[in-house]
Amino acid sequence: MMPLGLTTWFRRRMFALVAAASVASAAAPPVAYHLQKRNELVALARSDAERVGAVVASVAEQRPRLWAYDVTKISERLTAEGLSRLAAFTVRDGRGGAVMSEVRAEGGLLWGRREAWLGGKLVAVVWVGVETRAMWVGTLLITLGSTLVAALIGAVLYLLPVRAIARAERRVAGLMGQLALTLQEEERGRIARDLHDGAGQALTAARLHLLALRRAAPEHAERLGPIVVHLDEALDEVRRSTAVLMPPALVELGLRGALVRHCEAVAQATGLEVSFEAPDPMPAVAAHVETACYRVVQEALTNVARHAGAKRAWVSVSLDRLPPRDGLEGEPALRFEVRDDGRGLASGAPRGSGLESIAERARLLGGEASFADAGPGLRVRVTVPLTERSP
Amino acid sequence: MSALVARGWRAWAWASAVSFAAPVLATMGCGGDGPPPPPTPRETVSTAQGAVIVAGTGAMTLLSTRLAEAWAARGGRPGVVVEPSLGSGGAIKAVHDGAIDLGMVSRPLTSAERALGLEVVSIARSAVVMAAHPSVAPRSLSLEQLEALHAGTLTELADGRPVTLLLRDREESANAALDRWVPSLAALRARAYATRRFRVLYHDDAMIEALASTPGAVGVTDLVAIVERGARVNVLALGGVEPSARALLDGSYRAARDLAFVHRPERAERVRQFVGFVRSPEGSALIVRLGAVPLATGAAP
């Protein structure tokens, strides 16, 4: 079956798209949270700086010359205003000289700055620091959560369409294979008919004319004899080719009858003892399915005759079910089994082309093939659905 | 399956790293006003005019105010203005910057402060006392009781009446004076600040007012503050020792603060006359009347 490559093509593009979308959607919540929290902390820092500045301005108003040295008074007033637990703050006078500074936090800080004015003159500049640890912890937790959610959603968005495409691709490929099989068998049948109706008829007519000529001119019988023999050989070849292309027994006797005749022909030609067992009547299947099943048994017996070194072979046909698929119960199926008592498959040896073609036919029909050690010999088992389905 | 799971974990880890880096990159350089820059060194003022400005520890403010009044009463020049409390540390900075002429300190200078090159003039020794509301009957506290008070384990006195401790702020030098006598008090006090177990007062005035108005209250303050205000509080003996002048001088009462002036060398002439008055017999007598003990000249605290 020719691979379409659609699944691979789609998977690559879908992965890139889903990955980009997942990362973008995962990053959005932590970025939004972080920005918002950062703004809140800066606003809080500036608000506290405003309040500290008001305290400093008040003290400066009471002691305009020496307020920058009255740290005790400022501390007392800050405590009274509920500002004694700031993570960090720094007060500078109007010229940038140090007044007081306290840092109680060990981690990172975000700073807010405010100026304190008194009578149109810059009295002090205040910085207040707020801890950022809680913000980072929150950002991390939201990141972990959002990436997990994005990963789960991304996995679903990726797997669902990719699997659907893969299923569709298999169906299309199977249908194409079935179509190829059908066309192949139809073409064979057409060629067989053309051979039979065209070359076969012409050769038969020529033979008849030659026989009539030999009777009419017995003095030429010796020269005409070999021509008739060659014509007979050609006719036999046409019949053999026609039979290979389109087994006449299938048309005349149906699948069961054709298999019985083929088993007898193989037994006669090879000396194998061939047993056959099948339900009577056999369930009806489509014409190309019949042909494919006939060819499976034909190929399997050819394999036994050429490679197995067996004395006996058993051919059986029975009703079975395929394994469940896509959540549905297994379909009714026909099981064809060819077993021999020969040398079996060598351990680790690759399957030959005959067994490979059996496996391929089974797959194109939507069925299964297995090749197992029969102890002694090989068991070839092919199961095909009674109704057509894609591989 | 395990390979798929491992790949999935790696992908999730990468996605998490990228997602966590996104807010970091998005907010780099934005938000916040940045940390404070290094401070600008203050310009020092080496000369001054007008009245001599005196400011510093609250433990010496009252004493200096009365001395300045006495100096003014005898027509002393230049005049002296005593500013409200700045604390010993604030006074040293203000003197170094030239914002004031005389700083008042009630603790030893630190090595960094000594490196500023200021001159120190010892004036007096005052007692740091435990004072109590008149409802507190006992007139003395053992050192063990003092520790138990700070630990919060002593909540009743022998007569069964409740007792509660009032604290001064952390920076108050009276605390250090008590700690020199009972070293374990420092840690007990630190724990009390952290747990906010006791009320904290920021000035001697506030402490004395609270002691006088809160039944069962006991707190540290200065003897000069009590004497000068005529406050109605009981002064307790500590460890069996009364805070008398003799006990202060001979060192048997160990909770004491040496009070001193500090000034820039270039202002020595400006402040010489007032300092001389403070150390004169008249000044010494006033110091004694206020409950402190005058100290010998020139000795650094």
Of B33, B36, B93, the CB nearest to A69: B93
Q: Hey, is A84 helix, strand or coil?
A: coil
Of B19, B24, B33, the CB nearest to A147: B19
pLDDT band at A131 (very low <50, low <70, confident <90, very high): very high
Chain A residues whose CB is inside 8 A of the B85 CB are 70, 72-73
Mean pLDDT over residues A111-131, rounded?
A: 94
pLDDT band at A11 (very low <50, low <70, confident <90, very high): confident
Interface contact A146-B37, CB threshold 8 A? no
**Complex ipTM, two decimals?**
0.79
Distance between A44 CA and the closest CA of chain B, angstroms: 10
In the DSSP assignment, the letter for residue A115 is: E
- Please report, for chain A, how many H helices and E strands are present, in that order: 8, 9
My answer on whether omega of the bond before B265 falls inside 30° of 0, hence cis, is no
Mutation choice for B interface testing from A23, A66, A140, A141 by most B CBs within 10 A: A66
Contacts of B78 (CB under 8 A, 6+ apart): B50, B51, B52, B270, B273, B274
Q: What is the pLDDT of residues A337-356, one digit of tens each?
A: 999 999 887 766 667 788 88
Compute the distance between CA of residue A236 and CA of residue A220 in angstroms, rounded to an integer.
25
The CB-side HSE value for A201 (13 A sphere, CA atoms) comes to: 7
Chain A residues whose CB is inside 8 A of the B87 CB are 69-72
3-state helix, strand, coil in chain A (%, to 5): 60, 20, 20
Compute the distance between CA of residue B108 and CA of residue B85 in angstroms, rounded to an integer.
18
A198: region left, alpha or beta (phi > 0 left; psi from -120 to 50 alpha): alpha
- A296 in contact with B at a CB cutoff of 8 Å? no
Q: What is the pLDDT of residue B214?
A: 94
* C-alpha torsion B20→B25→B30→B34, nearest 10: 80
In the DSSP assignment, the letter for residue B10 is: H
Q: Which of A294, A310, A220, A305 minimizes the C-alpha distance to A259?
A: A294
Q: Which of B286, B292, B264 minimizes the C-alpha distance to B72?
A: B286
Of A42, A69, A127, the CB nearest to B35: A127
Chain B residues whose CB is inside 8 A of the A98 CB are 39
- B50 in contact with A at a CB cutoff of 8 Å? no
Chain B residues whose CB is inside 8 A of the A141 CB are none
Interfacial A residues in 14-33 facing B (CB < 8 Å): 19, 22-23, 26-27, 30-31, 33
- A291 in contact with B at a CB cutoff of 8 Å? no
In the DSSP assignment, the letter for residue B148 is: H
Q: E strand or H helix at A179, and its extent?
A: helix A133-194
- A387 in contact with B at a CB cutoff of 8 Å? no
Chain A residues whose CB is inside 8 A of the B95 CB are none
Compute the distance between CA of residue B191 and CA of residue B35 in angstroms, rounded to an integer.
31
Of A66, A95, A112, the CB nearest to B99: A66
Q: What is the pLDDT of residues B233-281, one digit of tens each?
A: 999 999 999 999 889 988 899 999 999 999 999 999 999 999 999 999 9
Strands B52-56 and B102-105: parallel
- Distance set, CA B235 to CA B129, B159, B224, B226, B252 (Å): 7, 18, 11, 9, 17
Q: What is the pLDDT of residue A160?
A: 92
Q: What is the pLDDT of residues A259-289, one digit of tens each?
A: 999 999 999 988 999 999 998 888 888 877 8
Interface contact A96-B23, CB threshold 8 A? no
Q: What is the pLDDT of residue B199?
A: 92
Q: What is the pLDDT of residues A37-86, one digit of tens each?
A: 999 999 999 999 999 999 999 999 988 889 999 998 898 899 889 898 89
The CB-side HSE value for B40 (13 A sphere, CA atoms) comes to: 11
Mean pLDDT (chain A, rounded): 88
Residues (pLDDT < 70) of chain B are: 1, 28-31, 46-47, 296-301
The larger pLDDT score, comparing residue A94 to residue A328, is at A94
Cβ proximity of B166 and B211 under 8 Å = yes
Contacts of A322 (CB under 8 A, 6+ apart): A330, A331, A333, A367, A368, A383, A385
Interface contact A45-B32, CB threshold 8 A? yes
- B29 in contact with A at a CB cutoff of 8 Å? no
A·B CB contacts under 8 A: 137
Cα A89-A91-A94 angle, rounded to 5 deg: 155
Distance between A129 CA and the closest CA of chain B, angstroms: 8
Compute the distance between CA of residue A221 and CA of residue A93 in angstroms, rounded to an integer.
141
- Distance set, CA B102 to CA A230, B44, B88 (Å): 146, 15, 11
Q: What is the pLDDT of residue B127?
A: 94
pLDDT at A325 over 90: no
- A53 in contact with B at a CB cutoff of 8 Å? no
Task: Out of A84-88, A210-214, A249-253, pick the least confident.
Answer: A249-253
Interface contact A30-B41, CB threshold 8 A? no
Compute the distance between CA of residue A36 and CA of residue B32 in angstroms, rounded to an integer.
13
Structure tokens at A241: 């080719």
- Where are the alpha helices (H) located in B171-203, listed in sequence order? 173-181, 185-195
Distance between A92 CA and the closest CA of chain B, angstroms: 7
Q: What is the pLDDT of residue A16?
A: 87
My answer on whether omega of the bond before A376 falls inside 30° of 0, hence cis, is yes
Structure tokens at A207: 């033979």
A29: region left, alpha or beta (phi > 0 left; psi from -120 to 50 alpha): alpha
Chain A residues whose CB is inside 8 A of the B33 CB are 42, 45-46, 111-113, 127
pLDDT at A390 over 70: no
Q: Hey, is A32 helix, strand or coil?
A: helix
Q: Letter for the amino acid at B181?
A: W
Compute the distance between CA of residue B235 and CA of residue B140 in angstroms, rounded to an integer.
8
- B202 in contact with A at a CB cutoff of 8 Å? yes
Structure tokens at A391: 């591989």
pLDDT at A228 over 80: yes
